Amino acid sequence: MTIGNQSGLLALLIGVLLAWSTASLAHHGWGWATDEEFEITGTITGVRLGNPHGEVTIEVDGEEWVIEVGQPWRNMRAGLTDEQLSKGRKITVHGHRSAREGERRMKAERVVVDGEDFNLYPGRDS
C-alpha cells in the first residue's frame, strides 16, 4: 500500500468515526429542561414502541404531544405493558419537557395510565 493510499484510508476512517460519534451524541444528548418537573395529561392517539425507546403520542387540549417512554426492558421492569399504552387510554406523564421552545415533546420518568402508576426511573424524583 502506498503512502497516498494509507493517507486516504486514514482520512476515511477518521471521517467515519467522527460521523458516528456526532450521530451518537445527537441521539443521546440531553435536550430536556432538567431544571423543572413537568406533568401533562391526555389521551393516547399513537404508539411506537421498541428500541432505542418508545414514543407515545397523546392529545392534550387539541394539541399533539410526543412522549418518550422507556426502552422495552425498562417499561417491562416498571410493569408497563404494550396493552396499557394502547390508543384511547388516558395517561398522565411526569418528567421533563423539551428544552426547545415550542416543541411539544417530553421524556417520561413516571406515567399513570387509567389510575395505575408506573415508575420508569425508580431512582429519580418525579
pLDDT at 12 over 80: no
Residue 51 belongs to a domain: yes
Lowest mean pLDDT among 42-46, 58-62, 73-77: 73-77
76 in the same domain as 95: yes
| Percentage above 90 pLDDT, the chain | 57
Residue 23 belongs to a domain: yes
**CATH code of the domain in which 79 resides:** 2.40.50.1010
Q: In total, how many domains does the chain have?
A: 2
Of the pLDDT bands very low, low, confident and very high (cuts 50, 70, 90), residue 101 is confident
36 or 94: which carries more pLDDT confidence? 94
Q: What is the 3-state secondary structure (H, E, C) of the chain?
A: CCHHHHHHHHHHHHHHHHHHHHHHHHHHCCCECCCCCEEEEEEEEEEECCCCCCEEEEEECCEEEEEECCCHHHHHHHCCCCHHHCCCCEEEEEEEEECCCCCCEEEEEEEEECCEEEECCCCCCC
50 in the same domain as 96: yes
- The reply to whether the predicted model has a pTM over 0.75 is no
19 in the same domain as 3: yes
1 in the same domain as 47: no
